Structure 1
Amino acid sequence: FPGVPKIETDKSVFENGDALLEEIKHFVDCIQSGNTPDVSGEAGRRALATAIEITKLLH
């Protein structure tokens, strides 16, 4: 349609599993091995704040 921007879509495939459990395992492994986690504490804090705000909006 003229004047209407084209909408692009992308289909993603995700494995079934427990994402939170995998994050916790990765974090514990980093503590034990001394490696740096894939996600920083600040990024985790921002993600948590976002999730809390979404939860508030839903209730």
Structure 2
Amino acid sequence: MVPKQRVVSGRPQKSFFSTAYEEITHPENATIVRSILVFGAGVAFLHSSLSELLLPPM
């Protein structure tokens, strides 16, 4: 009998985090990632106590 042969792919499977990191750092996605970071910084600023600086003086 002929022994059974397994087909082995040439490269190992990448983890979720390495795939996500590669997609985030890809040059095509730079504007989207930058926009998300600026939006997150704006939300964090408006949620913090520093946002009271934007209020007019009374």
TM-score range, shorter chain: 0.3 to 0.5
Greater length-normalized contact order (CA 8 Å, ≥ 6 residues apart):
1
The structure whose Rg is larger is 2
TM-score (norm 1): 0.39
Answer 1 or 2: which has greater helix percent. 2
